[in-house]
Amino acid sequence: MGECSVRPIVVNQVGYPLRGEKLAVFTGGSHQFRVVEEATGAVVLEGVSGPARFDVSCGATLHTGDFSELTAPGRYRIEQVDGAASAVFSLAERPYHELQQGLLKAFYYYRCGVTLTEEFAGPWAHQACHTAEGRVHGNELLVQDSAGGWHDAGDYGKYSGPGAKAVADLLLAYELYPSSFESAIPLPESDGVMLDVLHECKVELDWLFKMFDPATGGVFHKLTTLKFPGLDVMPEDDRAELYFSPVSAAATGDVAAVMALAARIYEPFDHVYAEKCLQAALRAWEWLERHPQVPGFVNPPDIVTGEYGDAVDTDERYWAAAELLRTTGEEKYHTAVQELAQLDYPKYSLGWADMGGYGTLAYLLRGETIADAALYATLKEGLLAEAARLMEQSAADGYRISLREEDYIWGSNMLVMNHALLLLAAEHVSGDRRYAACALDHLHYLLGRNVLDISYVTGFGDQSVRHPHHRPSVGDGVEAPVPGLVAGGPDRGLHDEYVVEHLQGKPAAQCFADHELSYSTNEVTIYWNSPAVFVAARFNLLK
């Protein structure tokens, strides 16, 4: 597996919008540069890069070249006088249309329990998988339907909380930026009536209905085999027994919230389905009310698949109350939001463990005129303060993103995209487009404007991830990986054997390996794709 060369000029390898700031990042000293039209070789702009700065996170001296004056559609590269050149990139009105389509199509490739046909999956087609019933852990005589939904990541587990986060990101993207989703992917369900993003979310929602414990109304935390299959095992060949892990408050809160959100979104298209979602949300909420104090989830001793442990469930309860308030308007949920908002937990985080940010967004999106004035003001002020903090961190970073050196953790690209999503939420509630400009810098980073000169999205960019830790991509015999998958990104903690052997002493932002064995830097998941869809959708709005 050959390593990509790192060019001294890095750009967003997909492209830039016609209007707004356009920057390339150079390593080394200051340089004269020129922008060259790919087709003709004509020089269309010349410039000089700005002052250099040493960036600790990436371990390099960096400076930027501004080519914002160029606004003509086309394909270009940036060159230095010594002949060094960047990737070729596009300038277009909607440069991220195909990217958004690919990021969303990835969820189709993650589908479980159905045959992915060549018509829609191309060379990445495979047979139906994991169609057997699952056993309830601790009550193995009880079996129930477990098929459907999305595989969570590079393995074949399915997890209620992370699945709810992914659906929430996609539904919020549709709610805020519906015109960005008008083009069909297409999917087998495409019908010209309901947009494909809603068809795809329904795949996961239909599976989440199956995660309810019929005896209690709580939600099983996850559905997995006892251990992971081999890295080259295709999904249809993974035939080990499936187990529903015990109910957790975190999973139950997440599912209550996302079902309440879905009830609103699907109501104009299918009243019966929307009502089913609402009833599921109410059932989960009733379980939460009956179980105010619940221990955090930990894996049963004989299950060694991903735990997604979560010791604090207050944030999930807050999100559930806020979504139920927004959907039903009932005052009891308003009271619950007000009470839960007084407790101490992150209220602006959008990660699978800390879901409080979704509760805050639900409350703010409901509208100021029907909110508690003091609470609305506090939450809005807090959101904008967090967004301002991210902007300040981005301004201090050589690649204009909000990660500090210590933020290059396992799944750092989730932070990159979650931060961008939060910045866009701040834009939505404030009208200040500076937040969007900062969010776009985060997308530039994901697509190649980074110290490794790599696009972290498979199939997009001339030096994109080629060898993700993703079982179908390893086992299918197809040279190219499944496209549209977001890789986890640099992890300074060196949490797998491959990077321990190969990346010792590297700066934080360089602790990434495009190798199938590097599960801590190069795995993929649905909830790294979902905020990327949201961000791409913001910059694909039809004018």
Residue positions annotated with a catalytic role: 469, 514, 523
Amino acid type, 249: A
Distance CA 201, CA 185 (A): 13
Provide the phi-psi class of 212: left if phi over 0, else alpha when psi is between -120 and 50, else beta: beta
Cα-based distances in Å from 260 to 77, 89, 358, 542: 47, 41, 12, 28
Handedness of CA 234, 238, 239, 242 (dihedral sign): negative
Structure tokens at 68: 């914002």
What string of DSSP letters covers 193-227? SS-HHHHHHHHHHHHHHTTB-TTTS-BBSEEE-SS
CA distance 26 to 86: 10
Q: How many angstroms separate the CA atoms of 230 and 511, rounded?
A: 25
| DSSP for residue 496 | S
112 vs 332: CA distance, rounded Å: 38
Distance CA 401, CA 450 (A): 10
Q: 10 pairs with which residues across the strands?
A: 25
Tokens of 410: 């396992």
- Long-range pairs of 143-146 with CB within 8 A, sequence gap ≥ 24: 144/210, 144/214, 144/244, 145/210, 146/210, 146/223, 146/242, 146/244
Give how far the C-alpha of residue 28 lies from the chain's centroid of Cα atoms, to the nearest Å: 33
Nearest 10 degrees: Cα torsion 38, 40, 46, 51 = 20
Q: Is 105 helix (H, G, I), strand (E, B) or coil?
A: helix
Burial class (CB in 10 A: 0-12, 13-18, 19+), 8: middle
Structural element, H or E, at residue 264: helix 249-266
CB 535 within 8 A of CB 439: yes
Closest CA to 475 of 170, 238, 213: 238
Tokens read off for 291: 């179980």
Q: How far apart are CA 70 and CA 24, in angstroms?
A: 13
Instruction: Tokens for 127, please give them.
Output: 């047979």
Fill in the amino acid letter for 220. Answer: F
Continuous segment of H or E residues that includes residue 398: none
